[in-house]
Amino acid sequence: MSDLVKDAKEPRTSVELFAGGGGLAMAVHQAGFRPLLFNEFNKRACETLVASAKKTLGEDGLKITEDTKPVPPGQGQPAPLYPGDVRDLDLSGFEGKVDILAGGPPCQPFSAGGVAKGDEDKRNMFPAVFKAVREMRPKAVICENVRGLLRPSFAEYFKYIQNELRLPFEKRDDEVPWHEHNAHLNRILGTLSDDKGSSDRYRVVMIPVNAANYGVPQVRNRVVLIAFRTDLNVDVEAFEKEVKTQRFSEAALLRSMRAEDGPYWQRHTTVPGYIREEIRRQIPKVIKEDDCQPWRTLRDAIQGYGTDVKLPALPEVDLERLDEKFDFGDEVGVVDHIGWPGARIYKGHTPNRLDRPAKTVKAGVHGVPGGESVMLLDQRVKTSEDWVHLHRYMTVRETARVMTFPDEWLGSGPRGEQMRQLGNAVPVALGEFFAKAVAEALDKAEG
């Protein structure tokens, strides 16, 4: 079906499935897309989307709907949010009206923390994505998921996921095993020529990413799948080269720290001299040269340098109140900057370091086993053997900054639920990069 003629001044449009706390939704919106629909199953996450909508998803906001056959909102109208199972939705009313279908299907089937059952796990929602593609025929699809999909045990099934995205209209019958359907898809793909575009087919790009290489102050290894409808004749090879070009690097960070008055230290003038000396001693004598910008660090995020937009530094946490659930941002209007007592360090549970990108923010389904929410501080105390640095839990607001969420984001629920939403989210800066790249590729293809 041909797309509706679009006024050049109108923004591109998006539909967001598995929206969670809104990371990818905010990213696509910040990339210039007008949201037409959100879907999220978790009640707390839906509350977060509603609470944050006006400030993070645009003035039109969103509204809860129980309609399983929603229609696109008009200009100036709030986007519907369906707070239920995506498999219950009929999205045929959006056909020909969606530029990007975005979403991160639940990752638990493919993550170590989620037992990694893969296709056998009922939480696998990739089939729901393919159903949505069949009903809407979006111009492009963005899916983000855990790097566990690249594990050898999932290799064949991950190829099958990509094949289904290439041929979403070759619907698999429920009684047919996935590997048999994959053989059917491979036979079809073997007969096709890329120069014959079709609105029933997509070209797929798979990009393994470390979010730190895209300007996120966090080491976060993920997989991004991008698909373009073949009738649009997008230059997929040029797109793939562009998005795989590294923009930030560890080497550039080390170079910025190497000199006593290096750019990193000029940005953080209050770092104690013994911290600078300790870090500079660990820098290799030979550092790779590149044209990248420095990785952003946890200290950058807290001090407001964690994105391209400078933010105010977060209020310092009073070290005399580390054993209290004290709101350190209340006096200056910073939300959820609340201390949490009980942080520990032990073997296998090591903290974040301020002058490195943060560890991967995790949802903590089985707790947070690796110290991902603990940070080592500049301040230290002298023991009988050596100096020991103090440590504490990161606040929700600090964690949100590591995920490049705006400070206007309001997480619903207690601390653990907010951290779960953040751990399940797509970093906003990462999602925005890919959404903008998709928009530019579509612009070039459509002249």
* pLDDT confidence of residue 60: 86
User: Is residue 46 annotated as part of the catalytic site, yes or no?
Assistant: no
Please report which helix (H) or strand (E) contains residue 336, including its range: none
**293 pLDDT above the threshold of 60:** yes
Q: Following DSSP, what letter does each residue of 148-182 receive, concatenated?
A: GGGSGGGHHHHHHHHHHHHSTTSPPPTTS-HHHHH
Distance separating alpha carbons of residues 164 and 181, to the nearest angstrom:
9
* pLDDT confidence of residue 155: 84
Identify the three-state secondary structure at position 437: helix
| Cβ pair 433, 356 in contact under 8 A | no
Distance separating alpha carbons of residues 171 and 148, to the nearest angstrom:
25
218-257 in b/e form (b: 16+ CB < 10 A) is bbbebbbbbbbbbbbebebeebbeebeeeebbbebbbbbb
pLDDT band per the 50, 70, 90 thresholds, residue 150: confident
Domain of 433: which CATH number?
3.40.50.150
* pLDDT confidence of residue 368: 52
Name the domain count of the chain.
1
pLDDT band per the 50, 70, 90 thresholds, residue 195: low
* pLDDT confidence of residue 156: 87
* Residue 260, in any domain of the structure: no
* Residue 199, in any domain of the structure: yes
Give the residue-averaged pLDDT of 76-93: 95
| Alpha helices by DSSP H, 209-310 | 236-243, 250-258, 263-267, 273-281, 298-303
What tens digit of pLDDT does each residue of 252-262 get? 999 999 999 99
pLDDT band per the 50, 70, 90 thresholds, residue 341: very high
**117 pLDDT above the threshold of 60:** no
**6 pLDDT above the threshold of 80:** no
Domain that includes residue 223, residue range: 12-246+426-446
Give the residue-averaged pLDDT of 391-418: 95
**370 pLDDT above the threshold of 80:** no
* Residue 145, in any domain of the structure: yes
Give the residue-averaged pLDDT of 102-112: 64
* Residue 298, in any domain of the structure: no
* pLDDT confidence of residue 19: 95
* pLDDT confidence of residue 347: 85
| Cβ pair 124, 45 in contact under 8 A | no
Question: What's the mean pLDDT when you consider all of the chain?
Answer: 90
* pLDDT confidence of residue 271: 97
Tell whether the torsion through CA atoms of 224, 228, 230 and 236 is positive or negative: negative
Share of the chain above pLDDT 90, in %: 76
* Residue 36, in any domain of the structure: yes
* pLDDT confidence of residue 169: 96
Give the residue-averaged pLDDT of 220-229: 96
**164 pLDDT above the threshold of 60:** yes
Give the residue-averaged pLDDT of 325-352: 92
**116 pLDDT above the threshold of 50:** no
* pLDDT confidence of residue 3: 53
At residue 231, φ and ψ (nearest 5 deg) are -70, -10
Q: What is the CA radius of gyration of the chain?
A: 23
* Residue 360, in any domain of the structure: no
pLDDT band per the 50, 70, 90 thresholds, residue 364: low
Distance separating alpha carbons of residues 269 and 311, to the nearest angstrom:
17
Exactly one of 46, 107, 143, 292 is catalytic; which is it?
Answer: 107
* pLDDT confidence of residue 431: 97
* Residue 176, in any domain of the structure: yes
Which pTM was predicted?
0.93
**193 pLDDT above the threshold of 90:** no
* Residue 219, in any domain of the structure: yes
Distance separating alpha carbons of residues 428 and 26, to the nearest angstrom:
6
Taking alpha carbons only, the member of 399, 395, 398, 378 closest to residue 387 is 378
pLDDT band per the 50, 70, 90 thresholds, residue 175: confident
Distance separating alpha carbons of residues 169 and 113, to the nearest angstrom:
32
Picking from 58-72, 98-112, 157-171, which range would have the lowest pLDDT averaged per residue?
98-112
Distance separating alpha carbons of residues 445 and 440, to the nearest angstrom:
9
pLDDT band per the 50, 70, 90 thresholds, residue 133: very high
Which position has the token pair 């941002």? 329
**112 pLDDT above the threshold of 60:** no
**108 pLDDT above the threshold of 60:** no
What tens digit of pLDDT does each residue of 26-78 get? 999 999 999 999 999 999 999 999 998 888 888 888 999 999 999 999 999 99
* pLDDT confidence of residue 196: 65
Give the residue-averaged pLDDT of 308-334: 94
